[in-house]
């Protein structure tokens, strides 16, 4: 925890240092630039870039559409043809139409039946993934303008081989940090879509959407009122999202897996493996966080070993489960691996929907007894327990 605090503080200080340096550069430019120059100062450009990147990360399609429309309207007639593609009317008009459709869907959410609303929520989650990736690869690199040329014709550094624009070099060096900040905010914003998919209550869905819209509004309003205040508020959001990124990433992986299994009818094309099977940890165990994705297998001694990779790509780690009475629990929408202690049933692993209708086969692979029907009451209890785990209020268990 202390390591994360130091990293977060370092990130905040680095971003603040960037603003200070930009402000100093702005002051120097103002003193040396001709009075007729109306170009933005480096500090002003950096402040706007930080706010813009944060706003687009919260809602990629809406943010990119707003930025594109703004650039299109403020550009001269002759300049509009040379604007980037996201500033062309065909893109931002289509973006506003899609956002409007989502707004209508959310407005009717309380009245619309769940069977109709949830597929639309799935479509929105998929759209958020696509627009987020498109924005990261094409829009953010064009928006990440932290430095502008110090002279109208572009300040450059002459070398023996070429002439290098100092502003271009600075923006290129800072682009990876801009993408990291964008990724941290986007993954947390996208987690809201996953929570909406998990929630069976329309009022909860509306509250989550309202919170995200409110947050996006505060970024836009503060940036419009004062670029420096807007940049400071955006930096606070970035740092908070940094601490939530791991939780949001695990939730996104879990939610994406569930979406894929439901959309592609995963249970009809899936067969459990005879040695190891992929699943999610249902609760924090021995400091391994809930929703961690990995494989469950038995070693040569017959112990249950859960092998996982942090962030899916780092070095593999293992978690040994204690000896207990385990069973496959058949739920309403998905199954769990549970630990049975008398009348008490505790979810240990969450199984993706592909395991539905394969309960007996899975129990046979791991040498467990009969499948336990969780039922409606048990399913609701497991659901609310999962929500508490997602929010960090669930009980933690020890594998020892």
Angle between helices 42-58 and 166-198 (to 10 degrees): 20
Q: Which of 42, 54, 131 is nearest to 86 (CA)?
A: 131
Q: Which pLDDT score, from 0 to 100, does residue 193 have? A: 84
- Do residue 310 and residue 256 come from a single domain? no
Task: Examine residue 164 and state whether it is found in any structural domain, yes or no.
Answer: yes
- Do residue 167 and residue 34 come from a single domain? yes
Q: Is 174 helix (H, G, I), strand (E, B) or coil?
A: helix
Render pLDDT for 123-177 as a digit per residue (tens, 0 to 9). 888 888 888 888 887 777 776 665 555 544 444 444 444 455 566 666 677 788 8
Q: What is the C-alpha to C-alpha distance for residues 153 and 195, in angstroms, rounded to an integer?
A: 50
Q: Which pLDDT score, from 0 to 100, does residue 393 have? A: 52
User: Using only C-alpha atoms, what is the Rg of the chain?
Assistant: 25
- Do residue 152 and residue 296 come from a single domain? no
- Do residue 144 and residue 259 come from a single domain? yes
Q: What is the C-alpha to C-alpha distance for residues 394 and 372, in angstroms, rounded to an integer?
A: 23
Q: Which of 222, 237, 263 is the last residue of a domain?
A: 263
Q: Are strands 156-158 and 276-281 parallel, antiparallel or unpaired?
A: unpaired
- Do residue 335 and residue 203 come from a single domain? no
> From the CB of residue 370, how many other CB atoms can be counted at a distance below 10 Å?
10
- Do residue 225 and residue 359 come from a single domain? no
- Do residue 246 and residue 305 come from a single domain? no
Ranges in the chain, pLDDT < 50 = 1-38, 151-162, 400
> From the CB of residue 87, how many other CB atoms can be counted at a distance below 10 Å?
24
**Residue that has been written with the tokens 């687009």 in this structure:** 56
**Residue that has been written with the tokens 């992929």 in this structure:** 278
CA distances from 53 to 133, 172, 328 (A): 13, 15, 45
Q: What is the DSSP string of 193-256?
A: HHHHHH---HHHHHHHHHHHHHHHHHHHHHHHH-HHHHHHHHHHHHHHHHHHHHHHHHHHHHHH
Q: Which of 348, 329, 341 is nearest to 399 (CA)?
A: 348
Please count the structural domains in the chain: 2
User: Measured in Å, how far apart are the chain's first and last C-alpha atoms?
Assistant: 22
Q: What is the DSSP string of 332-375?
A: SSS-EEEEEETTEEEEEEEPPGGGTT-HHHHHHHTT--SPEE-H
Identify whether the C-beta of residue 95 lies closer than 8 Å to the C-beta of residue 65: yes
Q: Which pLDDT score, from 0 to 100, does residue 197 have? A: 76
Q: What is the DSSP string of 273-309?
A: -SSEEEEEESS-BTTBPTT-EEEEEE-TTS-EEEEE-
- Do residue 245 and residue 281 come from a single domain? no
Task: Examine residue 305 and state whether it is found in any structural domain, yes or no.
Answer: yes
Q: Which pLDDT score, from 0 to 100, does residue 36 have? A: 41
Identify whether the C-beta of residue 353 lies closer than 8 Å to the C-beta of residue 262: yes
Q: Which pLDDT score, from 0 to 100, does residue 41 have? A: 60
Q: Which pLDDT score, from 0 to 100, does residue 67 have? A: 82
Q: Which pLDDT score, from 0 to 100, does residue 341 have? A: 86
Q: Which of 263, 284, 309 is the last residue of a domain?
A: 263
Task: Examine residue 108 and state whether it is found in any structural domain, yes or no.
Answer: yes
Q: Which residues, at least 6 apart from 126, have a Cβ–Cβ distance to it below 8 Å?
A: 259
Task: Examine residue 291 and state whether it is found in any structural domain, yes or no.
Answer: yes
Residues constituting the chain: 400
Task: Examine residue 270 and state whether it is found in any structural domain, yes or no.
Answer: no
- Do residue 157 and residue 229 come from a single domain? yes
Angle (nearest 5°) at CA 268 between 266 and 270: 65
Q: Which of 63, 57, 12, 50 is nearest to 229 (CA)?
A: 50
Identify whether the C-beta of residue 370 lies closer than 8 Å to the C-beta of residue 359: no
CATH number of the domain bearing residue 337 = 2.30.29
Q: Which of 263, 291, 321 is the last residue of a domain?
A: 263
Task: Examine residue 13 and state whether it is found in any structural domain, yes or no.
Answer: yes
Structural domain including 360 reads 276-390
Question: For the purposes of burial, counting CB atoms within 10 Å of the CB of 340, is it exposed (0-12), middle (13-18) or buried (19 or more)?
Answer: middle
Read off the tokens for 330.
């058949």
* DSSP H or E segment with residue 63: helix 60-74
Task: Examine residue 24 and state whether it is found in any structural domain, yes or no.
Answer: yes
> From the CB of residue 317, how many other CB atoms can be counted at a distance below 10 Å?
13
Identify whether the C-beta of residue 109 lies closer than 8 Å to the C-beta of residue 202: yes
Q: Which pLDDT score, from 0 to 100, does residue 188 have? A: 93
Identify whether the C-beta of residue 10 lies closer than 8 Å to the C-beta of residue 118: no
- Do residue 114 and residue 156 come from a single domain? yes
- Do residue 213 and residue 298 come from a single domain? no
Identify whether the C-beta of residue 50 lies closer than 8 Å to the C-beta of residue 182: no
Identify whether the C-beta of residue 294 lies closer than 8 Å to the C-beta of residue 306: yes
Dihedral angle, C-alpha 105, 110, 111, 113, nearest 10 ° = 80
Q: Which pLDDT score, from 0 to 100, does residue 27 have? A: 40
Task: Examine residue 269 and state whether it is found in any structural domain, yes or no.
Answer: no
- Do residue 256 and residue 307 come from a single domain? no
């Amino acid at each position: 925890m202390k390591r994360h605090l130091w990293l977060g503080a370092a990130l905040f200080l680095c971003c603040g240092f960037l603003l200070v340096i930009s402000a100093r550069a702005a002051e120097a430019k103002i003193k040396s630039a001709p009075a007729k120059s109306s170009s933005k100062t480096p500090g002003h450009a950096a402040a706007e870039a930080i706010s813009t990147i944060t706003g687009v990360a919260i809602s990629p399609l809406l943010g990119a559409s707003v930025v594109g429309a703004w650039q299109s309207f403020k550009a001269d007639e002759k300049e509009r043809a040379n604007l980037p593609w996201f500033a062309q009317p065909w893109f931002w008009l289509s973006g506003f139409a899609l956002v409007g459709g989502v707004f209508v869907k959310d407005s009717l959410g309380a009245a619309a039946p769940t069977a109709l609303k949830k597929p639309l929520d799935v479509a929105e989650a998929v759209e958020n993934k696509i627009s987020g990736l498109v924005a990261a690869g094409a829009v953010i690199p064009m928006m990440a303008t932290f430095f502008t040329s110090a002279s109208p014709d572009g300040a450059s550094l002459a070398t023996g081989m070429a002439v290098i624009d100092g502003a271009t070099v600075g923006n290129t060096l800072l682009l990876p940090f801009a993408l990291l900040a964008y990724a941290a905010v986007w993954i947390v914003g996208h987690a809201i879509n996953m929570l909406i998919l998990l929630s069976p209550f329309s009022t909860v869905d509306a509250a989550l959407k309202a919170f995200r819209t409110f947050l996006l509004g505060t970024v836009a309003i503060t940036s419009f009122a004062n670029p420096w205040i807007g940049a400071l508020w955006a930096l606070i959001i970035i740092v908070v999202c940094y601490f939530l990124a791991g939780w949001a990433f695990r939730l996104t992986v879990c939610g994406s897996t569930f979406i894929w299994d439901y959309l592609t009818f995963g249970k009809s094309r899936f067969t459990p493996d005879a040695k190891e099977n992929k699943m999610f940890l249902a609760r924090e165990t021995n400091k391994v966080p809930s929703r961690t994705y990995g494989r469950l297998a038995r070693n040569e001694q017959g112990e249950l070993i859960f092998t996982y990779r942090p962030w899916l790509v780092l070095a593999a780690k293992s978690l040994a489960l204690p000896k207990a009475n385990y069973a496959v629990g058949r739920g309403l929408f998905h199954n769990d691996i549970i630990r049975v202690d008398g009348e008490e049933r505790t979810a240990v692993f969450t199984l993706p929907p592909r395991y539905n209708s394969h309960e007996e086969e899975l129990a046979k692979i791991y040498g467990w007894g009969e499948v336990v029907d969780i039922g409606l009451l048990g399913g609701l209890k497991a659901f609310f327990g999962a929500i508490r785990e997602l929010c960090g209020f669930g009980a933690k268990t020890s594998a020892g």
